[in-house]
Amino acid sequence: MEHFYSMARDYGIVTNPRHYTCMIDLLGRAGRLDDAQNLMKDMPCEPDAATWGALLGASRIHGNTELGEKAAEMIFRLEPWNAGMYVLLSNLYAASGRWRDVSKMRLKMRDTGVRKMPGYSWVEVQNQIHLFQLGIPCIQTAREYMLSWKS
């Protein structure tokens, strides 16, 4: 924390919301959730969805469902369309064994029209990049790729 505060004090660097979000993310990942919350309270501006998202992510890592719900509530007020945060909260519930809440979160996404973007994977074969989208059958294409990898 000392380095964070020394940016402004010793080097004249004007801190911005992204600096705070980064510190909150680092503190949260390190398990210092109380310090992360205190830093949020000390921010010179209101935390945005990214800042709350850092706290939600840390809550997921450390299994703090109560804090995760608080962070998610704020995110949903600021960015109700942010599907990733619904999924993150749902994953927190799943890790806590709260399967009814997982179902409720999925229903809430459906009812509000929030959709998670499909996942993509890609592989480079002979200097060509091939993109795969989750859920799109491409058995023939996959078979061709496997044959080309063997040669």
| pLDDT means over runs of 10, the chain (151 residues) | 85 91 97 97 94 97 96 96 93 96 94 82 79 62 59 55
Domains of the chain: 2-112 (1.25.40), 120-150 (no CATH)
The answer to whether 27 and 19 are in contact (CB under 8 A) is no
Q: Could you give the CA distance from residue 65 to residue 3 in angstroms, rounded to a whole number?
A: 30
Q: What is the pTM of this model?
A: 0.75
Structure letter (DSSP) for residue 119 = P
